[in-house]
């Protein structure tokens, strides 16, 4: 039971439908690893993980060991893959909570091997190749030596080989194709030395959409699973999973010339009515949206005016009679009107990932 009028609705049917659509889009030999890092892109890591598992997902992708600990302590037993290079402080948790991890350097291999051997455990490793993203990974020319080191290290098992595309969502696919070629060369080199990891994965949502037949044995959908395509006008069957609602908390009449909020950035040009809504940048409603955002009340778009505060924002409802407690929608449907995370992202010249992941933990998530 939620305790705030400000809350997120997670549409479980939409999430299940999106997972099924992604599965149908992929080759039979490719399984899905549901990316649930960053609180499942703001959608609720525990709840979304459970739904994904119910839909047959066997792998969950995380960014930090603490997320894996959270999942394990919630009773989730699916395979977990840490997709950022582990920090020294995370190695004990990786072993204790049975978390698979990418590896990018010799020091981590040695440390993890020592710890795994000490605890009589085997850690599954995915060797990450830097094919052009230049964020994480080993250089292609180092791949064979690193793979051989992992294979020969006690307590470690080389289970996967992976990379990440820098431009999979771009119209020009030439750089992605170049990255794929480099990765395939590494794969061939390892195979020539009888090193054949069971899992091969390169495909985020955009790559999955562009080349479903050529992304390996494991796909890594993130935002597409939650209802947004990273490539405009493609994969339109998926549906947004998240809605963000609040309610009118108070109403006051403003006279012409009076102002609203910090800095007096909004001054009424005529007598009007201001509704205060209990949601602000402390909830993830960016202050940068001030003076640019609309919300939906009773199927009508109304402007958010003045500077968005930490816990509240104000809406100019004009002369419309609206009762305290009336539903207010920032993301989702309300009557005949609709607003998406993409709409908010467009205002800020950013991506919907940033909008959904910014919704803070103090906003209750309700599964329907």
Q: How far apart are CA 102 and CA 127, in angstroms?
A: 6
Q: How many CB atoms lie within 10 A of CB 56?
A: 11
DSSP letter assigned to residue 140: G
Q: How far apart are CA 323 and CA 345, in angstroms?
A: 30
**Sheet strands (E) in 12-74:** 31-35, 59-62
The DSSP secondary structure of 246-298, one letter per residue, reads EE--EEEEE-TT-EESGGG-EE-SS-EEEEEES--TTTT--GGGTTT-EEEET
Q: How far apart are CA 280 and CA 362, in angstroms?
A: 11
Non-local CB neighbours of 15 within 8 Å, separated by 6+ positions: 43, 48, 51, 52, 225, 226, 227, 241
Contact 366, 9 (CB under 8 A): yes
- What amino acid positions are annotated as catalytic residues? 37, 262
């Amino acid at each position: 039971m939620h305790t705030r009028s400000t809350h997120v609705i997670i549409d479980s049917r939409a999430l299940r439908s999106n997972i099924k659509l992604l599965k149908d889009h992929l080759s039979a030999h490719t399984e899905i690893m549901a990316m649930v890092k960053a609180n499942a892109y703001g959608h609720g890591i525990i709840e979304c993980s459970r739904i994904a598992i119910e839909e047959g997902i066997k792998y969950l992708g995380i960014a930090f060991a603490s997320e894996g600990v959270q999942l394990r302590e919630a009773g989730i037993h699916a395979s977990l893959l840490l997709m950022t290079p582990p920090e020294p402080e995370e190695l004990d948790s990786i072993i204790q909570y049975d978390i698979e991890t990418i590896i990018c350097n010799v020091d981590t291999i040695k440390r993890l091997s020592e710890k795994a051997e000490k605890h009589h455990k085997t850690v599954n490793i995915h060797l990450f190749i830097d094919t052009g993203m230049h964020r994480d990974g080993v250089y292609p020319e180092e791949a064979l030596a690193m793979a051989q080191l992992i294979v020969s290290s006690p307590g470690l098992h080389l289970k996967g080989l992976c990379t990440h595309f820098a431009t999979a969502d771009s119209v020009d696919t030439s750089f992605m194709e170049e990255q794929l070629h480099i990765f395939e060369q590494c794969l061939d080199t390892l195979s020539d030395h009888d090193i054949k990891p069971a899992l091969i994965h390169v495909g985020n949502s955009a790559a999955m959409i562009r080349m479903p037949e050529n992304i390996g044995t494991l796909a890594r959908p993130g935002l597409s699973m939650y209802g947004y395509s990273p490539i405009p006008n493609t994969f339109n069957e998926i549906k947004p999973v998240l809605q963000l609602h609040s309610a009118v908390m108070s109403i006051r009449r403003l006279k012409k010339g009076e102002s609203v909020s910090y800095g007096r950035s909004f001054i009424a040009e005529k007598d009007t009515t201001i509704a205060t809504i209990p949601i602000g940048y402390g909830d993830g409603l960016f202050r940068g949206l001030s003076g640019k955002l609309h919300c939906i009340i009773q199927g009508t778009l109304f402007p958010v005016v003045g500077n968005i505060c930490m816990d509240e924002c104000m809406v100019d409802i004009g002369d419309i009679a609206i009762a305290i407690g009336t539903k207010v929608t920032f993301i989702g449907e309300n009557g005949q009107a609709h607003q998406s995370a993409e709409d908010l992202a467009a205002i800020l010249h950013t991506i919907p990932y940033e909008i959904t992941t910014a919704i803070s933990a103090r906003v209750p998530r309700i599964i329907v």
